[in-house]
């Protein structure tokens, strides 16, 4: 069996090369390992975001990151 040794910067460079969806998955996995309560809060927030998006005729799961950010920006500035 071959063992590959990487320093922290090399690992970070590899992670940065992942597509956004895989990088997000990896981040969630690491957070669940370290902070289970955060994972629960994140799941709750995602469900709430989905409800808000649906109330506006949108589907959170199929929205791009830019579309999600734009929706959040609109929501944050609605009451101004």
In 3-state terms, what secondary structure has residue 75?
A: helix
Are 29 and 53 within one domain? no
Are 80 and 50 within one domain? yes
Are 30 and 50 within one domain? no
Are 27 and 51 within one domain? no
Structure tokens at 31: 């957070």
Tens digit of pLDDT for each residue in 7-64? 999 999 999 999 999 999 998 888 888 888 887 888 899 899 999 999 999 999 999 9
Q: What is the pLDDT of residue 70?
A: 93
Q: How many CB atoms lie within 10 A of CB 11?
A: 10
Is residue 80's pLDDT more than 70?
Answer: no
Q: What is the pLDDT of residue 78?
A: 81
Q: What is the pLDDT of residue 8?
A: 94
Q: What residue numbers bound the domain in which 73 lies?
A: 46-80
Return the DSSP state at 18: S
Are 26 and 51 within one domain? no
Q: What is the pLDDT of residue 31?
A: 83
Structure tokens at 68: 């999600």
Q: What is the pLDDT of residue 68?
A: 92
Are 77 and 52 within one domain? yes
59 occurs within a structural domain = yes
| Domains in the chain, number | 2
């Amino acid at each position: 069996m071959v063992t590959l040794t990487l320093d922290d910067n090399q690992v970070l460079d590899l992670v940065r090369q992942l597509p956004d969806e895989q990088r997000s998955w990896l981040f969630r996995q690491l957070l669940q390992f370290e902070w289970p309560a955060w994972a629960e809060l994140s799941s709750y927030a995602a469900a709430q975001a989905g409800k808000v998006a649906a109330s506006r005729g949108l589907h959170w799961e199929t929205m791009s990151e830019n579309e999600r950010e734009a929706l959040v920006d609109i929501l944050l500035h609605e009451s101004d």
